[in-house]
Amino acid sequence: MIMQYTLNKNTAGEIKIEFTITATEVDHQELVVINEVNQNRSFPGFRPGKASVEKIREVMGDKVVFETAIERLMKKALSEAIEQEDIIPAGQPWYEEGSVKKGEEVSFSVTLPLYPTVTTLPDPTTLTFSKQTTVVGEAEVEVLLGKLRESREEYSEAGAEVMTAVGQKITVDLEIKREGVMIPGGKTENYLVFTKYPENYLPGFIEKLLNHRLGEAVEFKLAFPADYANETLAGGEFDFLVNIKGIAVVSVPELTDDFAKKYGKTDLEALRTQISENLIAENAEAENNRQQQGVVELLVENSKFGPISELLINQEVNKMLAELKSWVNSKEVEFEDYLKREGVTVDKIKLDFTPRAIQRIKAGIVLGEIAKKQGLAGETDQKTWKLVIDYLVGVMVK
């Protein structure tokens, strides 16, 4: 390729390559682009592959042909420079155009993040991560049994003499107004209120509904929290009108052998045994996860690193943001709705992610160094990391 470049390695964990490409090479690449289009598209009045250069330029536009050629040359120039200089980038390149004009020499620069160096890597066998032992007692088993009972709870309509109370399911028609005007979405019919869970409603809402009878219309004022996700409602006081249409009382099954049979066990004692075994297995898995995370964090904490590229940090933050968006979408929630509900912005999330992004980068570098030292290699990066972490757990957990 007819190009020139210069390397500038900075102290921030990056390398900047400045390129110049001759106008002759740009013209040649334009012809390559035009020829490829000619081979893959048909043009009225021309046999396949026989359209004139002028016709293709007319259809595509000179600007598109030129920009396509420049994009290809930039990528090709970078690829050749990386190979010639034996550079191993740690992330995606950052392109900056210099002089890019048709008929002239093209100049541009590319910044590449480099892998941070580990200036100090302790011997893992000299570090200790303490294991924890948890015992599953009767109390924990009984708590879970109670939750199983609650999962089987049933509601039945109460008589007219029953007052609203904690633990009921109340059916209401609800109106919320401010200064006599209904707020958007403020009218709801047959709204179900579970008085057992006041934390799921506005502060004070459940308390206002207690000790009333079927058919009553309850009026009161309530303020939305100052940090409420909907900014138009946050901190404001509103008038509530609640018509009580139904009161259902809850009943939970007794802990008997018949109850245990609903979960595939012969009797209650067998169910208790199964719950205990499940809790032991869950605790063991949680402890294993704690150890795997802990040994890596301890190793990173006792290591020292060279400068970490801001470009690499930003790319890791964006990767974490993409992971968050994927998780939110898996819950069938729009990301914009998630931001409103949490009362955060993308910029705030990125800022909060930055320390973790740096930690993730350091962890990856440390694991890579340990893999080299111990000669550990799997079929994929993930399998290699597992081998390394298993090794660290084996020598550090005591």
| pLDDT tens-place string over residues 99-154 | 999 899 999 999 999 999 999 999 999 999 999 988 899 999 999 999 999 889 88
35-73 pLDDT, tens digit each: 999 888 888 888 888 888 898 888 899 999 999 999 999
Rounded-to-integer distance, Cα 231 and Cα 197, Å: 24
pLDDT at 50: 86
pLDDT at position 222: 96
- Give residue 354's pLDDT: 97
**All domains of the chain in start order, with CATH:** 3-114 (3.30.70.1050), 154-251 (3.10.50.40), 266-396 (no CATH)
pLDDT tens per residue across span 172-215: 999 999 999 999 989 999 999 999 999 999 999 999 999 999 99
| Residue closest to 85 by CA, chosen among 112, 105, 108, 107 | 112
pLDDT of residue 171: 96
Q: How confident is the model over 265-294, as a mean pLDDT?
A: 95
**What's the confidence (pLDDT) of residue 42?**
86
Residue 2: per-residue pLDDT = 57
pLDDT tens, position by position, 80-98: 999 999 999 999 999 999 9
Q: What is the average per-residue pLDDT within 309-322?
A: 96
Question: Which range among 88-102, 151-165, 301-315 shows the weakest confidence by mean pLDDT?
Answer: 151-165
Share of the chain above pLDDT 90, in %: 80
Report the mean per-residue pLDDT for the chain: 93
pLDDT of res. 180: 93
- Mean of the pLDDT values across residues 386-397? 96
Average pLDDT over residues 373-384: 88
- 361-382: average pLDDT: 91
* Separation in Å, CA 265 to CA 142, 254, 259, 274: 16, 15, 9, 9
Rounded Cα gap, residues 191 and 210, in angstroms = 16
Q: For position 41, what pLDDT does the model report?
A: 86
Residue 228 is predicted with a pLDDT of: 87
pTM of the model: 0.72
Model pLDDT, residue 341: 83
Residue 322 clears pLDDT 80, i.e. is over it: yes
